[in-house]
Amino acid sequence: MARRKTVTTEVVDPLARIVEDLRPLALPIGGLKPDPGNPRTHDDRNIEAIAASLRTFGQVKPLVVDAGTGEVVAGNGTLAAAKRLGWTHLAAVRIKMDPAGRRGLSVADNRTAELAGWDEEILAAAAEAIREENPDLFAELFLEELVAAREADDRSADGSEIEAAAGRFEVVVDAGTAAAQRQLYDRLTAEGWDCRLLSS
């Protein structure tokens, strides 16, 4: 008699990916809808970065969902990333709000984060630590680009970027009149600048 093969499959609790304190707020993803009026866009890179965060840390903050429609007011990117990961549940706070309030909250949620800045030294230290501790997360969050952009901003602020770029760029000045153009041209060439006269 042939022996039967036993196949064991691991049953994963769909709520295990949500931090314990948020699990009572878990809702099936099938009942959640992206906000069709969401002014914030989420390209593929953004969704991949959110997915990387969810894979690494789980869901640590709830979505905000309209209790009547199931539409996501805040957290549309998280919803898209969780779907991409094959998740079945997300924690959400359900609110009752009129359309004007929903629009305002949606914009405020995104705009307030966008207005925040970075402490450059702390960012650099955190990024370097993440690079050493979790290189995959460093890459998935596109931290190399963020650090490079901040370094370029620093160079621009101290003038070194402008100095390095001086031979690569042109400046066009609308002088207003032919006489003003000639006067400006004569002054700049006397100072050693390589100038050309343009007219339109």
Quickly list DSSP for 132-171. Answer: HH-HHHHHHTTHHHHHHHHHHHHHHHTTHHHHHHTTT---
pLDDT at 175: 75
pLDDT at 190: 83
Q: What is the mean pLDDT of residues 89-118?
A: 92
Instruction: Give 139-179 pLDDT, tens digit per residue.
Output: 998 888 877 776 776 666 666 555 555 555 567 777 777 77
pLDDT at 110: 87
Residue 10 in this model has a pLDDT that exceeds 80: no
Q: 47 Cβ partners below 8 Å, 6+ apart?
A: 77, 80, 81, 84
pLDDT at 5: 54
Contact call for residues 14 and 88 (beta carbons, < 8 A): yes
Residue 18 in this model has a pLDDT that exceeds 60: yes
pLDDT at 123: 86
pTM above 0.85, yes or no: no
**Residue 117 — very low, low, confident or very high, per pLDDT cuts 50/70/90?**
confident
Contact call for residues 94 and 102 (beta carbons, < 8 A): no
Lookup result for tokens 């800045």: 117
Residue 63 in this model has a pLDDT that exceeds 80: yes
Q: Which two tokens stand for residue 34?
A: 């992206």
Q: Indicate the domain borders of the chain.
A: 20-114, 118-168
CATH of domain 20-114: 3.90.1530.10
What is the Cα gyration radius of the chain?
Answer: 27
Cα–Cα distance list, 72 to 26, 34, 108, 160 (Å): 14, 5, 14, 45
Identify the sign of the CA torsion 82, 86, 90, 95. Answer: positive
Q: How many CB atoms lie within 10 A of CB 79?
A: 23
pLDDT at 159: 63
